[in-house]
Each structure stands twice: as structure tokens, then as C-alpha cells.
Amino acid sequence: MGTDLDKLFSKDPYALFQTWFKEAVNAKLPEPNAMVLSTISDSGRPNSRVVLLKGVTNNQFQFFTNLHSQKGHEIEKNPQACLLFFWPTLGHSLGRQVRIDGSVIKLSDEESDAYFATRARDSQLGAWASHQSEVLDSRDTLEKRFHQAKERFEGQAVTRPPHWGGLALIPERFEFWIGQDNRLHDRCRYTLNLGVWARQRLNP
């Protein structure tokens, strides 16, 4: 069984993810780091939205957001989430999907500060202006808040809003999917078992 899987799915899911990610970047797919993040509400309803993967550090999949947003609240109450990448068919390459689930932790203030500092100034100001996921009475209100932030930080570095920061998903399961002819796709699930990743081929 190992040999059958080895041809397509290496033993280490992180290494396989990095290979596929590099291939998606090299293929010039639009937004290769866009991933669907799914969380669960208090009442058990799933919610999905796209966020951008900003790095895989210490085997943690990092992204940045407003911690007071809907996703922020949901993750705070139930720190379980699922990430989904879809890299569609392009040229000779076949479509690929990667599903990763696990628990979510908050990055340290230092890590969030470090990433915030790399953002374009207007994006930094936007983080102050947007009360993400709250009802907004008009576009005008948002733009006013943006200009207020601009005036406030005139001539100085824009500090990170305390409610804006990084989260990271620590994988407990991966599933890699490769589109094949006749819907006979290849799937491989990786499950973490006492610190060791076990692989299983799944029916398509």
C-alpha cells in the first residue's frame, strides 16, 4: 500500500503541501495562497470565507484578520477550523484540492506586529477603518474612518489595531486530491497518530 501511495503522496504532508503550493505559484494561478476557511458558529452552523495563507511556520498555517470579525468570534468560542485550497486545472496539470483541519491558535503580539509592519500603509489604515463583519450604514462612514485614521497617524508609523492579528491552524488531518480521468481521482488522507502521520487512500 505504501508503494502505491508513494508515487503521488509523499510520507510528509507538509512537504507535499509545499511542493503543490510551489507548483501552483509557478503555474501562475491567480491567488494561489487563497484558501477557504470554515468555522462553526455557536449554534453549530458552518461558515466559510476566503482568507490568504501568509506562511507555514512551525507547521502552522498562518493567516491574518480582524479578531472581532465573525470568524474571529467563532474561532474564539470553538477553536476548530478547516482550510481548503483549490488549484484548478491549468495547461497540462490536473486540478488539485487540499483539505486541512485542526485547531486554531492566536499568534503572539510580536508575530502580528511583525506581519502588520510589512503591509502597505493604506492596508494598515484600512485595518483601523474597518469594523469587520459589523453592519455598516454607508460606504461614506467607512471612508470617513479611513481618513480619520490617515490624519491620526500622519507623519508616523501606523500601529497595529489591538483587535487585528494573526491566527494559525495546527493540522490534525490533511486530505490531498488529484483530479484524474473518468472521475477516478486520487485521494490520500493523512491522520496524525501519536506524532506520526498515517496515510490512507480514499475512494474518489
Ligand X SMILES: Cc1cc2nc3c(=O)[nH]c(=O)nc-3n(C[C@H](O)[C@H](O)[C@H](O)COP(=O)(O)O)c2cc1C
Q: Which residues are near ligand X by CB under 6 A? A: 31, 34, 47, 49-52, 63-66, 69-71, 132-133
User: Residue 118 has which C-alpha cell?
Assistant: 510589512
The four Cα atoms 23, 25, 26, 28 give a dihedral, to 10 degrees, of: 130
Give me the count of residues in the chain.
204
Shortest Cβ 153–ligand X spacing (Å): 21
* Between 46 and 204, CB nearer to ligand X: 46
Which residues does the annotation mark as catalytic? 183
Closest by Cα among 188, 160, 161 to 173? 188
Shortest Cβ 49–ligand X spacing (Å): 4
Neighbours of 176 (CB within 10 A): 24
User: Residue 14 has which C-alpha cell?
Assistant: 507538509
Shortest Cβ 48–ligand X spacing (Å): 8
